[in-house]
Amino acid sequence: MTLVKEAPVRPAKKRSAAPAAGRRGRRRENLAGYLFMSPWIAGFLLLTAGPMIASLYYAFTSYNLFTPPKWVGLDNFTTMFQDPRWQKSVEVTLKYVVVATPLKLLLALGVALLLAQRRRGQALYRAAFYMPSLIGASVSVGFVWRALFSDDAVVDRTQKIFGVDVGGWIGNPDYVLYSLVALSIWQFGAPMVIFLAGLKQVPQELYEAAEMDGAGPLRRFWNITLPMISPVLFFNVLLESIHAFQVFGSAYVVSDTRCGPADATLVYTCYLYQKGFKEAQMGFASAMAWTLVVAVALVTAVLFWSQKKWVHYEEAAK
Amino acid sequence: MTSATSPVVRTASERRRAGSLAWHVGALLVLAVVLYPVIWVLGASFKPSKDIIASLDLLPTEPVWANFSGLADGISGISITSFFTNSLLYAVLAVVGVVLSSSLTAYALAKIRFVGRNVLFTLMIGTLLLPYHVLLIPQYVLFRNLGYIDTLVPLVAGKFLATEAFFVFLMVQFMRGLPRELDEAAKLDGCGHLRTYWSIVLPLSRPALITSAIFTFINAWNDFMGPLIYLNTPSKYTVSLGLMMFRDQEGISNYGSMIAMSLVALVPVIAFFVAFQRYLIDGMATSGLKG
What is the complex's ipTM, to 2 decimals? 0.87
A153 CB neighbours in chain B (<8 A) are: 53-54
pLDDT at B54: 77
- CB distance B30–A129 less than 8 Å? yes
R_g of chain A, CA atoms, integer Å: 25
The beta-carbon neighbor of B142 closest among A51, A158, A273 is A51
Q: How confident is the model at residue A314 (pLDDT cuts 50, 70, 90)?
A: low
Could you read off the pLDDT of A28-74 as tens digits, one per residue? 899 999 999 999 999 999 999 999 999 999 999 999 999 999 999 99
Q: How many CB atoms lie within 10 A of CB A4?
A: 14
Give the 3-state secondary structure of residue A61: strand
Mean pLDDT of A265-293: 96
Å between A41 CA and nearest CA of chain B:
8
Q: Least CA distance to B267: which residue of chain A?
A: A135
- CB distance A137–B136 less than 8 Å? no
Closest by CA to B136, choosing from A187, A52, A90, A1, is A52
Calculated CA dihedral for residues A29, A33, A36, A37, nearest 10 degrees? -170
Q: What percent of chain A has pLDDT over 70?
A: 92
CA B209, B223, A282: angle at the middle one, nearest 5?
Answer: 120
Distance CA A260, CA A262 (A): 5
Distance CA A83, CA B37 (A): 38
Number of H helices, E strands in chain A: 18, 2
Could you read off the pLDDT of A133-170 as tens digits, one per residue? 989 889 999 989 988 888 878 888 888 888 787 777 88
Burial of residue A5 (number of CB atoms within 10 Å: 0-12, 13-18, 19+): exposed
pLDDT at A26: 87
The beta-carbon neighbor of A40 closest among B54, B162, B240 is B162
Q: B142-155 burial, b for 16+ CB within 10 Å, e for fewer?
A: bbeeeeeeeebebb
A245 CB neighbours in chain B (<8 A) are: 131
Could you read off the pLDDT of B182-214 as tens digits, one per residue? 888 888 888 889 999 999 999 999 989 999 999
Give, for A71, the enclosing helix (H) or strand (E).
Answer: strand A70-71
- CB distance A125–B31 less than 8 Å? yes
Q: What is the mean pLDDT of chain B?
A: 88
pLDDT at A261 over 60: yes
Low pLDDT (below 50) residues in chain B: 1-5, 290-291
What are residue B169's phi and psi, to 5 degrees? -60, -45
B192 CB neighbours in chain A (<8 A) are: 32
pLDDT at A187: 95
Å between B112 CA and nearest CA of chain A:
6
Q: Least CA distance to B279: which residue of chain A?
A: A127
Burial of residue B250 (number of CB atoms within 10 Å: 0-12, 13-18, 19+): middle
Residue type, A205: E
Q: How confident is the model at residue A119 (pLDDT cuts 50, 70, 90)?
A: confident
Q: What percent of chain A has pLDDT over 90?
A: 65
Distance CA A135, CA B42 (A): 14
- CB distance A44–B127 less than 8 Å? yes
Chain center to CA of B260: 21
B219 CB neighbours in chain A (<8 A) are: 137
The beta-carbon neighbor of B105 closest among A37, A148, A236 is A37
Å between B216 CA and nearest CA of chain A:
11
Q: Least CA distance to A257: which residue of chain B?
A: B244
Judged by a CB distance cut-off of 8 A, whether residue A194 touches chain B is: yes
Interface of A with B in 39-68 (CB under 8 A): 39-44, 46-48, 50-52, 54-55, 58, 65
pLDDT at A16 over 70: no
What are residue A71's phi and psi, to 5 degrees? -65, 125
Distance CA A164, CA A148 (A): 16
The beta-carbon neighbor of B107 closest among A29, A36, A286 is A36
Q: DSSP code of A274?
A: I
